[in-house]
Amino acid sequence: MADTAAARTPLMAGNWKMNINHVEAVHLVQKLSWTLQDKKHDFERVEVAVLPPFTDIRSVQTLVDGDRMKIKYGAQDVSKHDAGAYTGEISASMLAKLGCTYVLAGHSERRQYHNESDALVNAKATKALENGLVPIVCVGEGLDIRKAGEHVEYTLAQVDGALAGLKQDDVRKIVIAYEPVWAIGTGEVATPEDAQEVCAAIRGRLEETISPSVADSVRILYGGSVKMNSASGIMAQPDVDGCLVGGASLQVDEFAGICRYLDLQLGYSS
Ligand SMILES: O=C[C@H](O)COP(=O)(O)O
């Protein structure tokens, strides 16, 4: 496959999960912005996004808009419904109105604790796209599947299910995050080669089932215990276009270091 990684702008997305209230969110985003600006971070070269809990999004929007920050933001989940009697759910149009760019669909914790199926992930991604949001579709295997050596096949089946029926032009817009469940929040980092193996297989599947040009455009992230020190090795892989960062995104210096992996690779000051 043609190596067009340079045409895919890397994305570092910080998933705060159920951490950080709306007051803390303002401090965290402000400090992240100052830290990155101070280091002259080039947001066109490496895109930075935060994915706070729903209750924080309005505060983050106000700050980002007011200070004209280049940090993007989004949500951790979205309803498959447009509106109506769905207590506790949040629609894609509500997120769009809040200026969200991204929304996670099918994070492994949603699949694990809320039994989200590939069909539901597909419905959520579809709703996100209809409302102008970019879904970050999450896939990845558990430890038993990895040990059985079935991780590639398993993950590709999730990709097929999550993208079923989407139009080529819609698939081109999405982001896919490969997060091996055994490496999430455990300190167990998949090796760069582990990440590359599955990310390359996902790209290959898009090439086969959608089109080579779509496969070359879609950004594929790795997620699972990424830290400042592991980011550059992971990002050196040709089919890895960014990271979905959980725990480390709650620490400004750590997350800023991940976003600045290129500068740190070149030995510039941290
Ligand atoms: O959404 C992020 C992934 O679940 C990774 O989380 P983690 O960096 O805490 O392992």
| Segments making up each domain of the chain, as ranges | 9-265
User: Which numbered atom of ligand 1 lies nearest the CA of 248?
Assistant: 8
In this model, does residue 132 exceed pLDDT 60? Answer: yes
- Per residue in 24-72, pLDDT (tens digit) is 999 999 999 999 999 999 999 999 999 999 999 999 999 999 999 999 9
Tokens of 13: 């997305």
Q: Is 184 in the pocket of ligand 1 (CB under 6 A)?
A: yes
In this structure, what token pair is assigned to residue 128?
């996100």
Per-residue pLDDT, averaged over 105-116, amounts to 96
**Do residues 231 and 262 touch, judged by C-beta distance below 8 A?**
no
Is position 179 annotated as part of the catalytic site?
yes
**What distance in angstroms lies between residue 246's CA and the mean position of ligand 1's atoms?**
3
Known binder of ligand: residue 185? yes
Q: Could you identify the residue written with the tokens 């090795």?
A: 233
* C-alpha dihedral sign at 191, 196, 199, 202: negative
- Would you place residue 4 in the very low, low, confident or very high pLDDT band (cuts 50, 70, 90)? low
- What is the whole-number distance in angstroms between the Cα of residue 62 and the centre of ligand 1? 26
Contact 15 CB / ligand 1 (< 6 Å): yes
Is residue 188 in contact with ligand 1, taking CB distance under 6 Å? no
Would you state the pLDDT for residue 263? Answer: 83
Largest CA distance in the chain: 54
CATH level 3 topology of 9-265 = TIM Barrel (3.20.20)
Q: pLDDT digit string (tens) for 163-219?
A: 999 999 999 999 999 999 988 877 777 899 999 999 999 999 999 999 999 999 999
Structure confidence at residue 1 (pLDDT): 42
